[in-house]
Amino acid sequence: MGYKSGIVSMVGKPNVGKSTLINRLVGEKIAIVSDKVQTTRNRIGGILTTEKGQVIFYDTPGIHKPLHKLGQYLVKIAVGALNGSDLLLILVDYEDGIKASDHLVAQHVNASKIPAFLAINKIDLAPSKDRLVEFSKRALALFENVEKHFFISTEKGDGVDELLEEIIKRLPEGSMLYPEDIVTDRSSRFMAAEIIREKVLLLTKEEIPHSTGVYIHDFQDRENGVLFIRADIIVERQSQKPIIIGKNGAMIKKIGVLARQDMEYIFDSRVFLELFVKVRKKWREKDNFIRDFTNLNEDLE
């Protein structure tokens, strides 16, 4: 058997575990994760190189019915990622059940005609095997192009090795598309913005997580061996600014400390992180703001 290589795109509604799964498959944290819907805003490539093959996994935003212009971009990016994939990896969420957004996912997946595997995720939350089998039947009924289905827990790791083995088997023969030590196609600058946003998602609630963007002004290696990063956290309304700053600056300090810790680990360097909060009214409705504050330029090229 020859060497395998190909593109596998994750697809599913928000919060099903796409980013958690890509991190587990690649074995490194390349995509941010949160318990809020619409965490992922970009197509993020995660590259796994093994002795048998190289898989380019694409993480994508969750497909949903958009409520504003940013949402329209997210769905466009997710649907756009399907084209050119060798295989789709559809995720459904046992805990959340089958919802209208799963039907929306099915419309796009079915229209694509691309071969697909279905992963029933969050099985650690299922009370019994019977319930899972019953759920899988309902999920399978939505999709026309599913060749195999799997029961997995991306959080605990159950079923993931078997899924990966089957994915590699299903890919076409081909040579590596990326050098073997590369794990993502996104820039360090992008990763820095995402890490900051992840901490905002972790520490804030209600509308704040969804109305936050991050803009990286400076990203430079200084002569003293320190990576200097200056970034703006963008919110939509004046009233959201004090929430991000917190009492006596406690919140922004916490965001900064947690983000810097992750950055130092990922970039393997000392990091000096300077954060500011800016208000850009209704930025999620404005094309140029959306591009800048969600780093969309690479996605829409």
Ligand X SMILES: Nc1nc2c(ncn2[C@@H]2O[C@H](COP(=O)(O)OP(=O)(O)OP(=O)(O)O)[C@@H](O)[C@H]2O)c(=O)[nH]1
Annotated binding site for GTP: 12-19, 59-63, 121-124
* Residue 22 C-beta: closest distance to ligand X, Å: 8
* Residue 15 C-beta: closest distance to ligand X, Å: 4
Q: Which residue, judged by CB position, is nearest to ligand X in the bound state?
A: 62
> Interface with Mg ion by CB under 5 A: which residues?
18-19, 39-40
* Residue 143 C-beta: closest distance to ligand X, Å: 17
Residue 37 contact among ligand X, Mg ion, none, beta carbon within 5 to 8 Å by kind: ligand X
In this complex, which beta carbon is closest to Mg ion, that of residue 5 or of residue 154?
Answer: 154
Buried b (16+ CB within 10 A) or exposed e, 24-60: bbbeebbbbbbebebbbbbbbbbbbbeeebbbbbbbb
Half-sphere exposure of 108 (CA within 13 A, CB side): 25
DSSP letter for each residue of 73-84? HHHHHHHHHHTT
In this complex, which beta carbon is closest to ligand X, that of residue 5 or of residue 39?
Answer: 39
In this complex, which beta carbon is closest to Mg ion, that of residue 22 or of residue 259?
Answer: 22
Question: Which single residue is written with the structure tokens 């994760």?
Answer: 33
Report H helices in 141-275.
Answer: 160-170, 188-203, 241-245, 250-267
* Residue 296 C-beta: closest distance to Mg ion, Å: 15
In this complex, which beta carbon is closest to ligand X, that of residue 34 or of residue 145?
Answer: 34
Residue 204 contact among ligand X, Mg ion, none, beta carbon within 5 to 8 Å by kind: none
- Show binding-site residues: 12-19, 59-63, 121-124
* Residue 60 C-beta: closest distance to ligand X, Å: 8
* Residue 91 C-beta: closest distance to ligand X, Å: 7
CB count within 10 Å of CB 93 equals 21
Residue 199 contact among ligand X, Mg ion, none, beta carbon within 5 to 8 Å by kind: none
Residue 104 contact among ligand X, Mg ion, none, beta carbon within 5 to 8 Å by kind: none
Contacts for 49 with CB less than 8 Å, ≥ 6 apart: 176, 178, 180
> Interface with ligand X by CB under 6 A: which residues?
12, 14-20, 33-35, 37-40, 61-62, 121-122, 124-125, 153-155
Distance CA 231, CA 3 (A): 42
Residue 101 contact among Mg ion, ligand X, none, beta carbon within 5 to 8 Å by kind: none
In this complex, which beta carbon is closest to ligand X, that of residue 25 or of residue 244?
Answer: 25
Instruction: List C-alpha distances in Å: 272 to 192, 214, 250, 275.
Output: 12, 17, 18, 10
Bridge partner residues of 296 (DSSP): none
For residue 104, give both structure tokens: 């929306």
In this complex, which beta carbon is closest to ligand X, that of residue 72 or of residue 242?
Answer: 72
Please name which of 98, 94, 117, 12 lies closest in space to residue 61, comparing C-alpha atoms: 12
Distance CA 224, CA 161 (A): 43
